[in-house]
Structure 1
Amino acid sequence: MKIDLTETTSSKINQALVSARRAIGTPAIGMVLTLVIVTDEENAYDALKSAGDASREHPSRIIAVIKRVSRSPRSRRDARLDAEVRVGSDAGTGETVVLRLHGELANHAQSVVLPLLLPDAPVVVWWPEGAPEDPAKDPLGALAQRRITDAYSAENPGDELAVRARSYSPGDTDLSWTRITPWRSMLAAALDQQQVEVVSATVEGESENPSCELLAMWLADRLKVPVERTQSGGPGLTAVRMQTRNGVIVLDRPDGSLATLSMQGQPDRAVALKRRDTAELLAEELRRLDPDNTYEATVKFGVDKLGGPAEPKPAEPSPAAAPAAAKKTAAKKAAAK
C-alpha cells in the first residue's frame, strides 16, 4: 500500500502510517529499529531496495531522507516537505517513509525525522555515499546509536579512511569493513589450526578498494608484523599470504566467488568466499548496535604504516668473487687511461 503526501508535515505522515496499518489489518507495530537513509534521487532506489531486503531479517521503519536542491534563489527560500508512505508488501517486512525535503527545510532534516522515529527503539543512520566528515556530529547522525558509512563510494577511498579515523566515535562503522568479515574469519581459523608464528603478510587486491587496506591494517595491528599491500586486477580482494616459521598460508580468491586455502602439510581446500551484496552487508551491521572496538583499532592504525612493493636490491658479490671483481675494475680503469 502506498500513500503520497504533498506539502505535508511529520504529524500527517504519522497519521498516514496508522491509517495504512489499519487498512491492511496490522495495527500492531512489530519493528525492532528505525533505519534512516540519507541519500539523493540517483541512489535512492538501490538504497531502499537493499534496506527492504535487509528488513526481512530486521523488521524496521525505514526513513529515506532525500534533500532536493533548488535551482533558483526564490525556490531555495521556500520550504516544502513531500512524502511517500509504503506499508505491507511495498515495504518489505516493516514500513517505509520516503521524505523529499525542498528549500530551506533540507538544512533541518532532523526536525522532520525526529517525530517519525519509533519510540524506545534503536536508531541507525546510513549514508550510502556522501557521508559527512564527522557522522556523530551530523544533526541526523546525532540521533543514532549506529552510524554506517561506505568508504568505497568516496572519490578517494584512501583519504576517506583517514577521515573516518580522525572523526571516529563509538557506534561508527563502514561497509568496507563489513565486506572483509568472511576473510577475517577464515584467516583467524587458519591460524588457530596451525598455531604458528606469523613473521610477515601480504594483502593483494584491486586499487582504490578500501577493504584491502582495512584487511591489511587489521593483520598488522593484530599480528604486530609488517604487512605489504599489493595491487591486482581484482575483483575486490584476491589473495592474502602470511609467511610463518613453518611455511606460507595462502588464501587465494581470483574470481570473486571461490577461494583456495593452502597451508603447509595440508591439502588445498576450496572455500566459499563470494562477494556479498549491499543488503547482506547491511543486515550484518544491523545485528549488532554496540561499538565495534576492533574496527576502531583497525581504522586508527593508519594506511601510511602499511608497506608497499619493495624495490629490488642489487646483489652483493660473495667474498670469493670480490678479488675477481676488484681485478676487473682495475683493468677497466687501466684501459680508460
Structure 2
Amino acid sequence: MNIDLTDTTSGQINAALVKARRAAGFPAVGMVLTLVIVTDEGNHYDALRAASDASKEHPSRTLVVIRRPGRSPRDRAQARLDAEVRLGGETGTGETVLLRLHGELAAHAYSVVLPLLLPDAPVVVWWPEDAPRNPSRDLLGTLAQRRITDAAATEDPVAALGLRAENYAPGDTDLAWTRVTPWRSVLASALDQRHSRINSAVVEGEEYNPSTELLALWLADRLRVPVERVVSRGPGITAVRLVTDEGEICLDRPHGQLAELAVPGQPDRHVALHRRSTAELIAEELRRLDPDEAYQHALCYGVSKLVLTPQPQPQPEAGR
C-alpha cells in the first residue's frame, strides 16, 4: 500500500502510517527498530532495496531522508516536505517512509525525523554514500545507537578510514569492516586448530579496498606481528597468509567466490567465501547494536603501520 503526501508534516505522516496499518489488517506495531537512511535521489533505490531485504530479518520502520535543497535562491527559499508511505509488498515486513526535504528544510532533517521515530526502540542511521566527517556529532547521528558508513563508497577509501579513526565514537561502524567478518571467522577457526607461534602475516587485495586494510589492521592488532599489505588485482581481498613455525596458513580466494584453506599437516579444503550483498551486510549490522570493540581496536591501530607492497605482475614473453 502506498500513500503519497505533498507539502505535508510529520504529524500527517504519522497519521498516514496508522491508516496504512489498519487498511493492511495489522494495526499493532511490530517493529524492532528505526532505520534512517540518509541518501540522495540517485542512490536511494539501491539503499532502500537492501533495507527492505534486511527487514525480513529485522522488521523496522525505515525512514529514507532525501535532501533536495535546490540550486537557485528561489528554490532554496521554498521549504516543503513531500512524503511517500509504503507498507507491504516490496517493503518487506516493515514500514517505509520516503522523506523528500525541499529548499531550506533540507538543512533541518533532524526536526523532521525526530517525531517519526518509534518510541522506546533503538535507532540506526546509515549513510550509503556521503557520510558526515564526524557521524556521532551529526544531528541525525545523535539520535542513533548505531551509525553505519561505507568507506568503499568514497573517492579515497584509505583516507576515509583515517577520518573514521580520528572521529571514532562508540556505536560507529563501517560496511568495509562488516565485509571481513567471514574472513575473520575462517582465520580464527584455522588458528584454533593449529596452536603454533605466528611470526608474520601477508594480506593481499585491491589497492584501494578498505576491507583489505581493516583485515590487515585487525591481524596486526590481535597477533602483534608485522603485517605486509600486498596489492593484487582483486576482486576485494584475495588472500591471507600467516607464517608460523610449522609452515604457512593460507586462505586464498582469487575469484571472489570460493576460497581454499591450506593448514600445515592437514589436507587443503574449500571454503564458501562469496562477496556478500549490501542487504546481507546491513542485516548483520542490525543483529547487534552495542559498540563493536574489535572494529574500534582495528580501526584505531593505525593505517600508517601497514607496509604496502605491489604484487609482481607477470612479464610478457620475448617476441610478443
Describe the SS at the equivalent of 2:284.
Answer: helix
**Equivalent residues in 2 for 1:240-319, closer than 5 Å:** 240-309=240-309
1:132 matched to which residue of 2? 132
Describe the SS at the equivalent of 1:13.
Answer: helix
Q: What TM-score comes out, normalization by structure 2 length? A: 0.96
Describe the SS at the equivalent of 2:261.
Answer: strand
Shift in Å, 1:308: 2.4
Q: Which AA in structure 2 matches 1:224? A: R
Instruction: Find runs of 4+ consecutive structure 1 residues off by over 4 angstroms.
Output: none
User: Could you list the runs of 5+ residues in structure 1 that have no partner in the other structure?
Assistant: 311-337
**Equivalent residues in 2 for 1:26-41, closer than 5 Å:** 26-41=26-41
Shift in Å, 1:47: 0.2
Deviation sequence 1:33-80 (CA, Å, 0-9, x none): 000000001110000000000000000000000001301101101110
Q: Which AA in structure 2 matches 1:289? A: L
* Separation in 2, partners of 1:133, 1:22: 41
Q: Would you say the 8 A contact 1:239–1:253 is kept in 2?
A: yes
Q: Which AA in structure 2 matches 1:116? A: L
Shift in Å, 1:307: 1.3
Q: Would you say the 8 A contact 2:69–2:75 is kept in 1?
A: no
* Separation in 2, partners of 1:137, 1:77: 26
2:4 matched to which residue of 1? 4
Give the superposed CA RMSD: 1.2
Describe the SS at the equivalent of 1:7.
Answer: coil
* Separation in 1, partners of 2:91, 2:46: 14
2:225 matched to which residue of 1? 225
* Separation in 2, partners of 1:33, 1:263: 42
Describe the SS at the equivalent of 1:208.
Answer: coil
Describe the SS at the equivalent of 1:131.
Answer: coil
Deviation sequence 1:100-155 (CA, Å, 0-9, x none): 00011011100000000000000000000100010000000000000000000010
Larger Rg: 1
2:100 matched to which residue of 1? 100
Deviation sequence 1:219-244 (CA, Å, 0-9, x none): 00000000000111111100000000
1:142 matched to which residue of 2? 142
Q: Would you say the 8 A contact 1:63–1:97 is kept in 2?
A: yes
More off after superposition, 56-65 vs 71-80: 71-80
Q: How many residues align?
A: 312
* Separation in 2, partners of 1:35, 1:160: 23
Describe the SS at the equivalent of 1:121.
Answer: coil
Q: Would you say the 8 A contact 1:196–1:246 is kept in 2?
A: yes
Q: What TM-score comes out, normalization by structure 1 length? A: 0.91
Describe the SS at the equivalent of 1:21.
Answer: helix
Q: Which AA in structure 2 matches 1:118? A: L
* Separation in 2, partners of 1:121, 1:202: 42
2:177 matched to which residue of 1? 177
User: Could you list the runs of 5+ residues in structure 2 that have no partner in the other structure?
Assistant: 311-320
